[in-house]
Amino acid sequence: MKVAVLGAGVVGCATAYMLATKGHEVTVIDRRDKPGMETSFANGGLMTPSDASPWNSPSTLRQIGRSLFGKSSTLKINPSAIPSIVGWGLKFLANSTCERHKASMISNIRTAKVSLEVLRSIREVASLNYDQRTCGTMRVFPRGGRMSEFAQMCREMQQWGVQYELLDQDRILEKEPCLAAVIDRYVGAVFFPDDESGDAHKFTIEIARLATELGTHFLMNTNILKIVKASRSRISHISTSRGDVSADVYVLSLGSYSPILARPLNLLLPIIPVKGYSVTVTLNGWKGGPTRPVMDDGYHAMMVPMGDRLRMGGRAEFAGYDTSVNEEEGKRVLSDILKIVPALSSHINADAALNWSGLRPMTPSGPPLVGPTRYANLFLNTGHGPLGWTMACGSAKQISDLIAQAQA
Ligand SMILES: Cc1cc2nc3c(=O)[nH]c(=O)nc-3n(C[C@H](O)[C@H](O)[C@H](O)COP(=O)(O)OP(=O)(O)OC[C@H]3O[C@@H](n4cnc5c(N)ncnc54)[C@H](O)[C@@H]3O)c2cc1C
């Protein structure tokens, strides 16, 4: 069967690969010259089923509420974005009840765990190099923070297969000696042994290479203009800047841009862009930094080692489709990390840091939209929010299985 995948981010490329393994003739269409050049480019790199709790948990909402008005806010709302997020925001709040939040968390955990299984099985049959680390992640909690509340959530997640371990100061230092200078700040940590990490962009390129080896065709530098319908229940073709593309089945994986292309079909996808920043520095061979991803729950900061680089990230911002890079934000992220690992400052060139921003395609409930539409030959695999890299291989498997069932 001919399948056209719209979008060559980490989600589209993983989808193309899974479809190609099932023997389909796949074409991927994207406006960029290479796969993974938008939100999948310099994200946090965390492959973390442990992070499956959607942002609308009652405790996160309290944190967001406090931080909106604080100086070191973790979430910013650009006033110009308010009109476009009101409806979505109400749905976000409606999904924040304990019951709904739990259902969304379980759904995310399931997809993320399938994702890890799929990823590990791909690594068994193919050599992949994406600066991966498979030694877990650690979240450290300052005194007076929310460690006991978080540990309670971990107990809940454990029922769904997320393993964790509580660490005291000695055990934190055993795992991450680089925290020695600030260890007295921490009351403890939670370690997640099954989490992984890696460069999502490198992975996207790698999985696209594997898909190509299976016959997938990448139509790059091609702007998708319109998804053209044949009737009220079928898509006829895709109109692009380089002509029409026809297939038997279409998969929409355009990240934050999915709702824009879906709207003329009367498909109102509840996805909005939520901007995020990352900063990446070269370590110049220095080995004294973290050996695995470390998240500081007090500064809302994370640092993720990737080969000879360290990637750092911080806050989220509702700013519409604006992807401009804010140098001040980059400096803020780096200065928080230097408070945690002061020795880092003498090994990096802060002026040469890569400051980047991207748009998380967020749904109001948390889980992505993976499934059929009212058009029998149009499927969705989009809206992965802050967990697109974590869930890409899992949702790619889900959608390729669904397509196989629908066409059987
Ligand atoms: C700062 C930050 C940190 C993050 N950290 C993590 C993390 O640690 N772990 C994690 O799991 N997730 C993380 N995420 C989320 C993750 O990056 C996203 O969920 C994921 O990249 C989304 O992938 P995608 O393929 O759906 O979208 P994209 O990567 O945005 O891909 C969409 C593709 O569609 C193409 N496209 C769009 N419109 C058109 C058009 N009209 N014509 C042709 N092509 C088009 C684009 O060029 C793009 O290649 C983070 C996100 C941000 C912003």
Phi then psi for 71, rounded to 5 degrees?
Answer: -70, -40
Closest ligand 1 atom, CA of 388?
Answer: 19
Contact between 277 and 314 (Cβ < 8 Å): yes
Residue 236: its H or E element: strand 234-240
| CB of 258 shorter than 6 A to ligand 1 | no
Coil, helix or strand at residue 113: helix
Q: What is the pLDDT of residue 407?
A: 79
Cα of 366 vs centre of ligand 1, distance in Å, is: 15
Cα of 38 vs centre of ligand 1, distance in Å, is: 6
Strands 217-219 and 25-29: parallel
Q: What is the pLDDT of residue 206?
A: 98
Q: Give bridge partners of residue 47 from the DSSP assignment.
A: 196
3-state SS, 184-197, equals: HHEEEEEEECCCEE
| CB of 317 shorter than 6 A to ligand 1 | no
| CB of 43 shorter than 6 A to ligand 1 | yes
Q: What is the pLDDT of residue 326?
A: 86
Cα of 187 vs centre of ligand 1, distance in Å, is: 35
Residue whose C-alpha is closest to residue 199's, from 305, 299, 83: 305
Cα of 12 vs centre of ligand 1, distance in Å, is: 9
Q: What is the pLDDT of residue 63?
A: 64
- Cα–Cα distance measured from residue 100 to residue 302, given in angstroms and rounded to the nearest whole number: 28
Q: What is the pLDDT of residue 68?
A: 62
Choice from 114, 226, 254 to test ligand 1 binding pocket (greatest atom count within 8 A of CB): 254
Residue whose C-alpha is closest to residue 306's, from 140, 129, 112: 129
**Dihedral class, residue 288 (left if φ above 0, else alpha if ψ from -120 to 50, else beta):** alpha
Cα of 255 vs centre of ligand 1, distance in Å, is: 5
| CB of 218 shorter than 6 A to ligand 1 | no
Tell me: the pLDDT tens digits for 260-295?
Answer: 999 999 999 999 999 999 999 999 999 999 999 999
Task: State the DSSP string of 230-278.
Answer: EETTEEEEEEETTEEE--SEEEE--GGGHHHHHGGGT-----EEEEEEE
Q: What is the pLDDT of residue 264?
A: 98
Amino acid of residue 195: D
- Cα–Cα distance measured from residue 129 to residue 67, given in angstroms and rounded to the nearest whole number: 38
Q: State both tokens at 278.
A: 């990352």
Q: How many CB atoms lie within 10 A of CB 327?
A: 10
Q: What is the pLDDT of residue 408?
A: 75
Residue 227: its H or E element: strand 224-231
Q: What is the pLDDT of residue 56?
A: 85
Q: What is the pLDDT of residue 66?
A: 63
Per-10-residue mean pLDDT for the chain, 408 residues long? 98 98 98 98 97 84 63 72 86 92 96 98 96 98 94 96 98 98 97 98 98 98 98 98 98 98 98 96 97 95 97 89 91 94 96 96 97 98 98 98 90
| CB of 15 shorter than 6 A to ligand 1 | no
Residue nearest to atom 19 of ligand 1 (CA): 388
Maximum Cα interatomic distance, the chain, rounded to a whole number of Å: 65
Contact between 384 and 11 (Cβ < 8 Å): yes
Choice from 40, 242, 252, 292 to test ligand 1 binding pocket (greatest atom count within 8 A of CB): 40
| CB of 49 shorter than 6 A to ligand 1 | no
CA-CA-CA-CA torsion sign (295, 301, 307, 308): negative
Assign domain 2-407 one CATH number from 3.30.260.10, 3.40.50.970, 3.50.50.60, 3.40.630.30: 3.50.50.60
| CB of 40 shorter than 6 A to ligand 1 | yes
Closest ligand 1 atom, CA of 253?
Answer: 26
| CB of 289 shorter than 6 A to ligand 1 | no
- Cα–Cα distance measured from residue 365 to residue 55, given in angstroms and rounded to the nearest whole number: 9
Closest ligand 1 atom, CA of 313?
Answer: 1
Q: State both tokens at 41.
A: 């480019």
| CB of 358 shorter than 6 A to ligand 1 | yes
In sequence order, what are the residues at sequence separation of 6 or more whose Cβ sits closer than 8 angstroms to the Cβ of residue 81? Answer: 318, 319, 320
- Cα–Cα distance measured from residue 196 to residue 217, given in angstroms and rounded to the nearest whole number: 30
- Buried/exposed 257-266: b ≥16 CB within 10 Å, e otherwise: bbbebbeebe
Return the domain boundaries, the chain. 2-407
Q: What is the pLDDT of residue 77?
A: 81
- Cα–Cα distance measured from residue 228 to residue 239, given in angstroms and rounded to the nearest whole number: 7
Residue nearest to atom 35 of ligand 1 (CA): 7
- Cα–Cα distance measured from residue 186 to residue 281, given in angstroms and rounded to the nearest whole number: 25
In sequence order, what are the residues at sequence separation of 6 or more whose Cβ sits closer than 8 angstroms to the Cβ of residue 99? Answer: none
Amino acid of residue 10: V
